[in-house]
Amino acid sequence: MIDIITNVNGVINNAVWGWPALILLGFVGVLMTCMTKFFQLSHFKYWMKHTIGAIFGEKHITAHTEDKTISQFQSLCTALAATVGTGNIVGVAGAIAVGGPGAVFWMWLIAFFGMMTNYSENVLGILYRRKNTEGEWCGG
């Protein structure tokens, strides 16, 4: 019985986390990039000005106003830490070791289209968040 469960689990894992998932994620990234008219490139100046540029230009971004909240800068650092973790560093080293220096090109290419997938997740999160009875943001 356990062998049957193990085999079924292996088939499902290969279907979900194997080549089909990689192709699907790549296709979705390309599709969203085309649908947004290459948002990653067309709005580069805007988001640099309002993210990293705002940190150095506006003091209220790094200021901590309330005890129960975090500043915008702290939120940015938390998001970057989650996005650029040790897995990314080890992943690049592993890709170069296995596939050679050309693997970096393919990582950049998939990362470019993956940006749009991540952006879409964030937009949906902001779109579907709601305020609770205490006026705090929930969900999303």
Among 39-48, 52-61, 79-88, name the one with the lowest average pLDDT.
52-61
pTM for the full model?
0.65
pLDDT grade for 2, boundaries at 50, 70 and 90:
very high
| Domain chopping of the chain, boundaries | 2-47+81-138
Mean pLDDT on 124-138:
87
Q: How many CB atoms lie within 10 A of CB 91?
A: 13
Residue 137 backbone phi and psi in degrees, to 5 = -75, 135
pLDDT grade for 104, boundaries at 50, 70 and 90:
confident
Q: Is the pLDDT of residue 113 over 60?
A: yes
Alpha carbons 137 and 121: distance in angstroms, whole number: 17
Q: How many CB atoms lie within 10 A of CB 113?
A: 19
Q: Read out DSSP for 37-102?
A: TSHHHHTHHHHHHHTHHHHHH-HHHH----TTS--HHHHHHHHHHHHS-HHHHHHHHHHHHHH-TH
Q: Is the pLDDT of residue 101 over 90?
A: no
**In the chain, what's the furthest Cα-to-Cα distance?**
64
Alpha carbons 101 and 120: distance in angstroms, whole number: 30
Tens of pLDDT along 13-22?
988 888 888 8
DSSP for residue 139: -
pLDDT for the residue numbered 5: 96
